[in-house]
Structure 1
Amino acid sequence: MATQGAPVKYSKHSPALAMTLSLIFAGFGQLYNRRYIKGILFIVLEVSFIFTLGRFINYGLWGLRTLGVTPLEDHSIFLMIYGLISLLLIAFALGLYILNILDAKRNAERLRQGESNPKMKETIRNVWDRGFPYLFITPGLFMLTFIVILPILFTLSLAFTDYNQYNSPPGNLLNWVGWDNFKKLVTLNTWSETFFDVFTWTIVWTLVATTLQIALGLFLALIVNDPRVKFKKWIRTVLILPWAVPAFVTILIFSAMFNGEFGTINRDLLVLFGLEIPWMQDPFWAKIALIMIQTWLGFPFVFALFTGVLQSISRDWYEAAEVDGGSRWQKFRYITFPHVMYATAPLLIMQYAGNFNNFNIIYLFNEGGPPIPGKRAGGTDILISWVYDLTFEINQYNMAAAITIILGLIVTGFAFYQFRKTRSFKEEGNM
Structure 2
Amino acid sequence: MSTANPTAKHNHNPRTAIILSILLAGLGQLYNRRYIKGSIFILLEISFILTLGEFLNYGIWGILTLGTLQGVDHSIFLLIYGLISIILIAFAIVLYVANVKDAKKDAIRLRNGEKIPTFKEAVKNIWDVGFPYFFVTPGLIMLAFIVVLPLLFTVGLAFTDYSQSNQPPRNLLNWVGFENFGRLFFETGGAGNNIWQDTFISVFTWTIVWTLVATTLQIALGLFLALIVNDPRIKFKRLIRTILILPWAVPAFVTILVFAAMFNDRFGSINTDILAIFNLSIPWLQDPFYTKIALIMIQTWLGFPFVFALFTGILQSISKDWYEAADVDGASRMQKFRSITLPHVLFATAPLLIMQYAGNFNNFNIIYLFNEGGPAVRGQNAGGTDILISWVYDLTFELNQYSMAAAITIILGLIVTGFAVFQFRRTRAFKEEEI
TM-score range relative to shorter protein? over 0.9
Taking the aligned partners of 1:125 and 1:325, their CA distance within structure 2 comes to 71
CA positional deviation for 1:9: 4.8
Aligned residue for 1:225? 230
Aligned residue for 1:384? 389
- After superposition, residues 82-121 of structure 1 pair within 5 angstroms as 82-121=81-120
> SS of 1:115's equivalent?
coil
Match status 1:242 vs 2:241:
no
Taking the aligned partners of 2:173 and 2:300, their CA distance within structure 1 comes to 44
CA positional deviation for 1:423: 4.7
Aligned residue for 2:50? 51
Aligned residue for 1:171? 170
- After superposition, residues 278-297 of structure 1 pair within 5 angstroms as 278-297=283-302
Residues 106-149 of structure 1 show CA distances to partners (whole Å, capped at 9, x for unaligned) of: 22222223211113343223212221222211111111111111
> SS of 1:167's equivalent?
coil
Taking the aligned partners of 1:315 and 1:241, their CA distance within structure 2 comes to 29
**369, 382, 386: which one pairs with 1:364?**
369
Taking the aligned partners of 1:151 and 1:372, their CA distance within structure 2 comes to 32
**335, 339, 355: which one pairs with 1:334?**
339
Taking the aligned partners of 1:343 and 1:132, their CA distance within structure 2 comes to 38
**191, 195, 203: which one pairs with 1:190?**
195
Taking the aligned partners of 1:170 and 1:6, their CA distance within structure 2 comes to 69
Letter matched to residue 163 of structure 1: Y
Q: Is the 8 A contact 2:8 2:112 kept in 1?
A: no
Aligned residue for 1:11? 10
- Which residues of structure 2 form unaligned runs of 5+? 189-193
Residues 167-199 of structure 1 show CA distances to partners (whole Å, capped at 9, x for unaligned) of: 001110101111111111122312111110000
Taking the aligned partners of 1:7 and 1:282, their CA distance within structure 2 comes to 91
Number of positions where the alignment pairs a residue of Structure 1 with one of Structure 2: 427
Taking the aligned partners of 2:142 and 2:428, their CA distance within structure 1 comes to 26
Letter matched to residue 407 of structure 1: L
Match status 1:400 vs 2:405:
yes
Moved more, 122-131 or 382-391: 122-131
> SS of 1:422's equivalent?
helix
**217, 220, 224: which one pairs with 1:215?**
220
Match status 1:411 vs 2:416:
yes
> SS of 1:71's equivalent?
coil
Letter matched to residue 74 of structure 1: D
Residues 82-122 of structure 1 show CA distances to partners (whole Å, capped at 9, x for unaligned) of: 00000010011001111111111222222223211113343
Letter matched to residue 329 of structure 1: M
Q: Is the 8 A contact 1:6 1:112 kept in 2?
A: no
Q: Is the 8 A contact 2:110 2:116 kept in 1?
A: yes
- After superposition, residues 130-209 of structure 1 pair within 5 angstroms as 130-186=129-185, 187-188=187-188, 189-209=194-214
Taking the aligned partners of 2:316 and 2:102, their CA distance within structure 1 comes to 55
Taking the aligned partners of 1:147 and 1:119, their CA distance within structure 2 comes to 38
Taking the aligned partners of 2:428 and 2:139, their CA distance within structure 1 comes to 23
Residues 342-373 of structure 1 show CA distances to partners (whole Å, capped at 9, x for unaligned) of: 11111111111111111100000000000012
> SS of 1:22's equivalent?
helix
Letter matched to residue 397 of structure 1: Y
> SS of 1:144's equivalent?
helix
Residues 187-215 of structure 1 show CA distances to partners (whole Å, capped at 9, x for unaligned) of: 23121111100000000000000000111
- Which residues of structure 1 form unaligned runs of 5+? none
Aligned residue for 1:315? 320
Taking the aligned partners of 1:7 and 1:53, their CA distance within structure 2 comes to 46
> SS of 1:421's equivalent?
helix
CA positional deviation for 1:291: 0.3
Q: Is the 8 A contact 1:163 1:396 kept in 2?
A: yes
Aligned residue for 1:35? 34
Letter matched to residue 39 of structure 2: I
Taking the aligned partners of 1:230 and 1:34, their CA distance within structure 2 comes to 83
Taking the aligned partners of 2:3 and 2:408, their CA distance within structure 1 comes to 66
RMSD between superposed Cα atoms in Å: 1.8
Letter matched to residue 279 of structure 2: G
Taking the aligned partners of 1:13 and 1:225, their CA distance within structure 2 comes to 77
CA positional deviation for 1:422: 2.4
Q: Is the 8 A contact 2:8 2:113 kept in 1?
A: no
Taking the aligned partners of 2:34 and 2:319, their CA distance within structure 1 comes to 64
Residues 262-311 of structure 1 show CA distances to partners (whole Å, capped at 9, x for unaligned) of: 10001001111111111000000000000000001111111111111112
Residues 357-412 of structure 1 show CA distances to partners (whole Å, capped at 9, x for unaligned) of: 11100000000000012211100001110111111111011111111111111111
> SS of 1:210's equivalent?
helix
Taking the aligned partners of 1:113 and 1:227, their CA distance within structure 2 comes to 77
> SS of 1:317's equivalent?
helix
> SS of 1:137's equivalent?
helix
Taking the aligned partners of 1:30 and 1:299, their CA distance within structure 2 comes to 64
> SS of 1:378's equivalent?
coil
Taking the aligned partners of 1:241 and 1:5, their CA distance within structure 2 comes to 80
Taking the aligned partners of 2:347 and 2:105, their CA distance within structure 1 comes to 47
Match status 1:81 vs 2:84:
no
Q: Is the 8 A contact 2:66 2:78 kept in 1?
A: yes
Taking the aligned partners of 1:341 and 1:420, their CA distance within structure 2 comes to 15
CA positional deviation for 1:8: 4.1
Taking the aligned partners of 2:316 and 2:118, their CA distance within structure 1 comes to 60
